[in-house]
C-alpha cells in the first residue's frame, strides 16, 4: 500500500529542513527494518546509475534510488509525463542475478554476466533488466534489495501498519515542520482511505490538540495514532476473557482457546502463546497477556482463518496419481491474451512458483532446426523449446517437490521431434521418467510420493506401454507411425478441416511417453473396453461441462482409474477462464486454467491448492476414487458424501483495505460478499451492507448462515468490493479457503489482489463456527 503525493515547490530553507527530515526518516525506517547501519541499504538510499536494457537498440542509463521509507524505489524517466517513476519493493516478485531473463540473454554479452540483474514484478508489470557499473555495485543492489524485501516480509502486521502510517503522516506534512494542521490531518485521513466530514475532523483534531496550539505534534500525534488504530471489537473480546486484574492469565487465554476457537489446547499451549507474542516483558514474566499481545496473536498464523495443520503436506501422497486434483496451467508460455500477447519462459516460472504441476507446451518447427513454442496461427512471439525446458528444470521444485507433467501439443515434424526428445533427455537427465517404475508392467499409476522430483511427458505416442515389456521385436516403419488426432488443440471442432487427420510421431519422442499417452475420447463405454489406465483424453471445456452435467456419475467412474485433462475453448481470445468447480466435482484431475489471467476462476484454483503444503496435489475424496461410486453432484442421493454442516459467519471489521483508485482524494465504500462454491446444492452468496467512505477500519458486524451438504468439495470465498450505485462494484481483495481448512473462532482473513498476490496489511476480521446439521 502506497501513499501518493504531489511534488511541492520548496524554498532553500525548506529544502534544508526537508533534507534533514529525509535523513531522519531513513534512519527511523532502517531501524524499524532491523537494518540500521547496513552498508548495502545505505548504498540503495544514496542511489546510482544503472543501464536499463529493453532491446538491442534501447539501452539507456537511468538513476535509481531507494526513498527514505525504505520501501519505494524511485527512478528517473525521460518521458515528458513521467519524469519520475516509483514502485514498491512489495511489488517485486523476484530478483534474478546475472543474465537470466530472455532480454538480457538476447541483448547483452557474456562479459556482463556479473554486472547484470533483473527485477521481476508481480502481476503483468514488465520486468526491469539492469546492468550495474561493476560486479561490486551489482552485488550491493541485489543484496540491498533482497535484505529490504526479506525484512519487510518478516515485519509483524502491527509493525507494517506502524511503518505505513508513519510514512503517510510524514508525506502529509506539507511544510515539513513535524506538526499536523487540521487541513493536513484531513489530507492524511484521505491518504489512508478514510473520508470524514469537516465536523468529525474538527472533533478528532481537538481531541488530540491538548495544548490548544492549533497543531498536533509529538505526544499528541502519538495519541492520534492510538485513536486511529484502536479496535473496539478487540476490546470487547479481550474484556470478556481478561479476568485476572484486567489482564489475561494462561487460564483466561485457555478458556478463550477452548470456548471460542474450539482448539484442543492445553495450559502449556496458552503459556507458549504468551511467551511467543506478548510484547510487555513484565506481563510475560508474570505469564499474563495484555491486549496488545492478544492482538499480536490474532494477527499471527495461529489467528488466521486457514487451518495451520493444512499448511504443510498432511494428505496421503501414496495413492495412484489419478486420485489427486492436480494444479494445471493452459498455454503456460503466454503472459497475456492468446492472439498477440507476449510469450515468455517467465510464464512457466510464475506458474511453477505458484505450485502448478502440469504445464503446457505448444510445439512447432522453428528455424535453424530448433523447435519453438507459441500459440499457432497467431501473433504471439516464439520462444525456444530448449529455453522452456531449462526454465522448467530450474523452477519446477522450488515450491513443491511433487512431479511435474509436461503436456506437449506436438505440431513438429519428425526431425524436430527428435530434437525435442534430445533436449528433454539432456537437460532433465535422470529426473525425466523414460520407463515405468519397477520391473513389471504396471496396472495403475505410481504415486506422487514415488514420483517426487520427476518429470512426466504427456503427448501422443505410438504403440502400447506393454510393448516395453514384450520380448518380441515390433516392426517399425521409417521410425514413425500415424495416429488419429485426439481432442487436443484449440480450434473448435466445427472448424477442424479433417477430424481424422493423421500425424507422425518420432520414436525418440514416443519413447518418452510412459504414463500419460494422449488418446481421443470416443465415449465412456469405448474407454472402459479399450483404454488402458495410462491413456488419457483431453476435453475441451464445452464437452467436459456437458459430460459433467449430463453424465456426472459415469465421468466420475471414468476418472477413478484414468486421467482427464480439461482445457479452455479456443474462442477465449482474451485467455479468460471457465468455471473449474463442476469439473472437480466430476473427479477431473487436470483442470487447466490460464494462470496469466486474473479471474474468479483462478482465485478458486489458488484456494483449492492453498492446502496440503501448496504441493499442487489434493487427494480426491474417497467417493471420487471408488470405481463403484454412486456419487452424483447434480442429484445428491444419500451416501458417505453427505456430511451436512451449518456454517455461521460473522463479518466484523476490516483493516487497511487498499484503494481502487490512485487519486489521493479517493476513498472506498467497502462491502463483503461471502460465497460458497461446490456442488450445485451448496452454491450460495450473501453480502453485507457497504460502509461509506472508510477503507481503513470499516465495521460491519453482520451474521450469515449457510447449509453445506458436501463440505469436501466446497470452497468459501470472501470477496471485498467497493460499492458503486451507478455501475458495477470494483474489486478490492479476496480470499478463498477450502471448507475443510476453515478455522473456528475469531480470526483474520488475509486478502489477495486480482493477481493472487498477498496484500501485506489488508485483512478482514470474522468469527467462524462450523457445526453439524441436526
Task: Report the relative pairing of strands 404-410 and 358-364 from DSSP bridges.
Answer: parallel
Q: How far apart are CA 25 and CA 105, in angstroms?
A: 39
Q: How far apart are CA 37 and CA 30, in angstroms?
A: 8
Q: How far apart are CA 676 and CA 697, in angstroms?
A: 25
Cα angle: 469, vertex 419, 354; to 5 degrees: 85
Binding residues: 52-79, 331, 360, 362, 409, 458, 460, 538, 565, 669, 693, 722, 724
Binding residues for substrate: 52-79, 458, 460, 538, 565
How far apart, in Å, are the Cα atoms of 454 and each of 69, 349, 405, 535, 644?
44, 17, 9, 19, 39
Q: Which residues of 226-252 are buried (b: 16+ CB within 10 A; e: fewer)?
A: eebbebeebeebbeebbebeebbbbeb
Contact by Cβ (8 Å): 232, 653: no
Name every residue whose Cβ is closer than 8 Å to that of residue 556 and which is 6 or more positions away in sequence: 586, 587, 624, 629, 631, 632
φ, ψ dihedrals at 412, nearest 5°? -85, 155
Name the catalytic one among 375, 558, 606, 748. 375
Check if 767 is active-site. no
Contact by Cβ (8 Å): 733, 672: no
Decide: helix, strand or coil at residue 455.
strand
Binding residues for Ca(2+): 331, 360, 362, 409, 669, 693, 722, 724
Q: Which residues of 533-562 are buried (b: 16+ CB within 10 A; e: fewer)?
A: bbbbbbbbbebbbebbeebbbbbbbbbbbb
| Helix axis angle, 414-428 to 385-395, nearest 10° | 20
Task: Return the residue matching grid coordinates 459433467.
Answer: 548
Q: How far apart are CA 290 and CA 244, in angstroms?
A: 11
C-beta atoms surrounding 720 within 10 Å: 28
Contact by Cβ (8 Å): 279, 296: yes
Write the DSSP string, 226-280.
HHHH--HHHHHHHHHH--BTTBEEHHHHHHHHHHTS-----HHHHHHHHHHH---
Pick the closest to residue 307 from 353, 261, 269 (CA basis): 261
Cα angle: 211, vertex 215, 220; to 5 degrees: 60
| Helix axis angle, 385-395 to 345-353, nearest 10° | 20
Q: Is the dihedral of CA 687, 692, 696, 701 positive or negative?
A: negative
Cα angle: 89, vertex 91, 96; to 5 degrees: 75
Check if 411 is active-site. no
Cell of 133: 557499473
Name the catalytic one among 299, 310, 323, 330. 330
Q: How far apart are CA 409 and CA 215, in angstroms?
A: 68
Instruction: Find how far residue 676's CA is from the centre of its chain.
Output: 20
| Helix axis angle, 250-259 to 232-241, nearest 10° | 110
Q: How far apart are CA 193 and CA 656, in angstroms?
A: 8
Enzyme catalytic residues: 330, 375
Amino acid at each position: 500500500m502506497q501513499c501518493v503525493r504531489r511534488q511541492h515547490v520548496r524554498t532553500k530553507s525548506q529544502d534544508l529542513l526537508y533534507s534533514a527530515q529525509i535523513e531522519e526518516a531513513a534512519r527511523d525506517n532502517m531501524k524499524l527494518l532491523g537494518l540500521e547501519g547496513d552498508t548495502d541499504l545505505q548504498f540503495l538510499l544514496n542511489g546510482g546509475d544503472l543501464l536499463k536494457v529493453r532491446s538491442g537498440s534501447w539501452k539507456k542509463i537511468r538513476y535509481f534510488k531507494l526513498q527514505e521509507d525504505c520501501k519505494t524505489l524511485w527512478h528517473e524517466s525521460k518521458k515528458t509525463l513521467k519524469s519520475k517513476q516509483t514502485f514498491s519493493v512489495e511489488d517485486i516478485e523476484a530478483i534474478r542475478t546475472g543474465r537470466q531473463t530472455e532480454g538480457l540473454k538476447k541483448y547483452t554479452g557474456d562479459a556482463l554476466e556479473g554486472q547484470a540483474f533483473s527485477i521481476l514484478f508481480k502481476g503483468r508489470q514488465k520486468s526491469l533488466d539492469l546492468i550495474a557499473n561493476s560486479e561490486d555495485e551489482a552485488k550491493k543492489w541485489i543484496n540491498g534489495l533482497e535484505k529490504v524485501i526479506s525484512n519487510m516480509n518478516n515485519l509483524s502486521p502491527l509493525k507494517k501498519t506502524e511503518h505505513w502510517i508513519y510514512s503517510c503522516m510524514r508525506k502529509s506534512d506539507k511544510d515539513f515542520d513535524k506538526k499536523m494542521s487540521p487541513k493536513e490531518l484531513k489530507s492524511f485521513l484521505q491518504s489512508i482511505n478514510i473520508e470524514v466530514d469537516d465536523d468529525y475532523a474538527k472533533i478528532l483534531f481537538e481531541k488530540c490538540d491538548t495544548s490548544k496550539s492549533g497543531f498536533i505534534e509529538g505526544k499528541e500525534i502519538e495519541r492520534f495514532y492510538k485513536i486511529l488504530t484502536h479496535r473496539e471489537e478487540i476490546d470487547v473480546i479481550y474484556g470478556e476473557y481478561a479476568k485476572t486484574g484486567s489482564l489475561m492469565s494462561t487460564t483466561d487465554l485457555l478458556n478463550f482457546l477452548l470456548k471460542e476457537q474450539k482448539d484442543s489446547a492445553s495450559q502449556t499451549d496458552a503459556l507458549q502463546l504468551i511467551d511467543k507474542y506478548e510484547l510487555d516483558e513484565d506481563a510475560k514474566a508474570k505469564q499474563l497477556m495484555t491486549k496488545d499481545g492478544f492482538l499480536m496473536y490474532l494477527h499471527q498464523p495461529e489467528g488466521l482463518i486457514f487451518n495451520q495443520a493444512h499448511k504443510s503436506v498432511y494428505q496421503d501422497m501414496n495413492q495412484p496419481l489419478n486420485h489427486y486434483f492436480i494444479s494445471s496451467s493452459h498455454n503456460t508460455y503466454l503472459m497475456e491474451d492468446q492472439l498477440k500477447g507476449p510469450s515468455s519462459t517467465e510464464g512457466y516460472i510464475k506458474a511453477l512458483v505458484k505450485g502448478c504441476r502440469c504445464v503446457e507446451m505448444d510445439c512447432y518447427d522453428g528455424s535453424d532446426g530448433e523447435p519453438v513454442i507459441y500459440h499457432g496461427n497467431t501473433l504471439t512471439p516464439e520462444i525456444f523449446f530448449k529455453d522452456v525446458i531449462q526454465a522448467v528444470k530450474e523452477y519446477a521444485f522450488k515450491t513443491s517437490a511433487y512431479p511435474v507433467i509436461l503436456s506437449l501439443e506436438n505440431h513438429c515434424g519428425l526431425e524436430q521431434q527428435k530434437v525435442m526428445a534430445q533436449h528433454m533427455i539432456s537437460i532433465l537427465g535422470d529426473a525425466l521418467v523414460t520407463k515405468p517404475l519397477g520391473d513389471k508392467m504396471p496396472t495403475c499409476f505410481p504415486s506422487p510420493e514415488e514420483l517426487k522430483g520427476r518429470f512426466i511427458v504427456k503427448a501422443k505416442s505410438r504403440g502400447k506401454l506393454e510393448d516395453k515389456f514384450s520380448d518380441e521385436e515390433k516392426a517399425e516403419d521409417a521410425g514413425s507411425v500415424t495416429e488419429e488426432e485426439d481432442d487436443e488443440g484449440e480450434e473448435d471442432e466445427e472448424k477442424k478441416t479433417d477430424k481424422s487427420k493423421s500425424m507422425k510421431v518420432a520414436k525418440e519422442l514416443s519413447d518418452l511417453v510412459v504414463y500419460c499417452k494422449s488418446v481421443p475420447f470416443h465415449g465412456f463405454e469405448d474407454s472402459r473396453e479399450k483404454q488402458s489406465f495410462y491413456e488419457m483424453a483431453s476435453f475441451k471445456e464445452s464437452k467436459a461441462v456437458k459430460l459433467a452435467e449430463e453424465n456426472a456419475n459415469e465421468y466420475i467412474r471414468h476418472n477413478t482409474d484414468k486421467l482427464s485433462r480439461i482445457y479452455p475453448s479456443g474462442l477465449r481470445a482474451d485467455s479468460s477462464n471457465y468455471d473449474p468447480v463442476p469439473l472437480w466435482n466430476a473427479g477431473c484431475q487436470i483442470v487447466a486454467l490460464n494462470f496469466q489471467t486474473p479471474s474468479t476462476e483462478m482465485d478458486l484454483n489458488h484456494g483449492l491448492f492453498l492446502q496440503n503444503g501448496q504441493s499442487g496435489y489434493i487427494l480426491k475424496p474417497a467417493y471420487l476414487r471408488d470405481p463403484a461410486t454412486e456419487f452424483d453432484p447434480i442429484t445428491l442421493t444419500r451416501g458417505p458424501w453427505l456430511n451436512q454442516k451449518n456454517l455461521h459467519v460473522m463479518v466484523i471489521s476490516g483493516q487497511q483495505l487498499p484503494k481502487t483508485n490512485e487519486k489521493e482524494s479517493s476513498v472506498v465504500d467497502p462491502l463483503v460478499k461471502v460465497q460458497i462454491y461446490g456442488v450445485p446444492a451448496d452454491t450460495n452468496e450473501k453480502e453485507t451492507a457497504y460502509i461509506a467512505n472508510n477503507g481503513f477500519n470499516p465495521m460491519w458486524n453482520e451474521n450469515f448462515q449457510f447449509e453445506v451438504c458436501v463440505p469436501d468439495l466446497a470452497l468459501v470465498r470472501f470477496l471485498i468490493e467497493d460499492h458503486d450505485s451507478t455501475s458495477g462494484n470494483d474489486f478490492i481483495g479476496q480470499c478463498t479457503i477450502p471448507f475443510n481448512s476453515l478455522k473456528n473462532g475469531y480470526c483474520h482473513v488475509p486478502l489477495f489482489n486480482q493477481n493472487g498476490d498477498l496484500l501485506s496489511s489488508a485483512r478482514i476480521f470474522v468469527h467462524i463456527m462450523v457445526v453439524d446439521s441436526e
